[in-house]
Structure 1
Amino acid sequence: MRRTTAVFAGAAVLSAVFASQAVAAPAEIVAPNARAAADVNYRGELMRQKNVVNSFQVSEGLYCVIVNPNADINLSNALILANARIHADSVETIGKPTTSCGGRSDAITVVTLKNGQPTSSSFTIAVL
């Protein structure tokens, strides 16, 4: 009985630890004139979104932002606006499929730069 109680107590402690580390769903961006938008931190984590389902960092200063396929947006000819945050002085976006994002047609490739070199930085993007 004591062994069972100890196992349950240990499991409860581990559950509490891992439950507190659960990732919260990104908040929604209110952007009535944007078809899609994202606020991404320097680690590539999606903080806020509109019609964006995921984002991730590929390497230093290189990110993929995955637009919801149900949004029916042709990223290859969409106007994509981007702003770099504190650690970068410019940001480039590519709406056409790239090898960096696995050739996905629903992905925006984002490169954040400082003095022309890739650097990890938070950024925002909007697809108009």
Structure 2
Amino acid sequence: MRRTTAVFVGALALSAALASQAVAAPAEIDAPNARAAAEVGYRGDLMRQKNVVNSFQNDPGVYCVIVDPNAGINLPSALILANPHIHADSVVTIGEPTLACNSRRDAITVVTLKNGLPASSSFTIAVL
């Protein structure tokens, strides 16, 4: 019983130590002429950013990019440009709130497409 307890306590201590390590913040992206910009991985993870606080994949090929509300950007009237990477041939961006991104006013909905159908792909995005 003591051996089992010691192993359990040791495993618990190790998992607590690993859980307490902070996840590194996304690197800053060099985009001097953009008000916001991001590089997003095909699973929705935020790789690099400027005035973007989060990103996530909602469905295959459907992503939400959350712009820092303190940046003061009116997304529905902003010019938003995006480029898909290797697994898609086009991308659509929507600055208006959408159900895909829980009607958030600080979210850009991004859909990456392959042959006209949603397909998961990494991408870059800029808000000018």
TM over 0.5: yes
Q: CA deviation at 1:95?
A: 0.5
Q: CA deviation at 1:79?
A: 0.6
Residues 1-128 of structure 1 aligned to structure 2 (within 5 Å) = 5-18=6-19, 23-128=23-128
Distance 1:4 1:69, change over 3 A: same
TM-score computed with the length of structure 2 as normaliser: 0.89
Unaligned runs of 5+ in 2: none
Q: CA deviation at 1:118?
A: 0.4
Q: CA deviation at 1:6?
A: 4.2
Mapped to 2, the partners of 1:109 and 1:6 lie a distance apart of 47
Q: CA deviation at 1:5?
A: 4.7
Mapped to 2, the partners of 1:63 and 1:6 lie a distance apart of 42
Number of equivalent positions: 127
Mapped to 2, the partners of 1:89 and 1:65 lie a distance apart of 19
Letter in 2 for 1:11: L
Unaligned runs of 5+ in 1: none
Q: CA deviation at 1:16?
A: 4.8
Cα RMSD of the aligned pairs, angstroms, is: 2.0
Letter in 2 for 1:32: P
TM-score computed with the length of structure 1 as normaliser: 0.89
Q: CA deviation at 1:100?
A: 0.8
Identity of aligned residues (%): 69
Mapped to 2, the partners of 1:110 and 1:81 lie a distance apart of 10
Mapped to 1, the partners of 2:24 and 2:93 lie a distance apart of 26
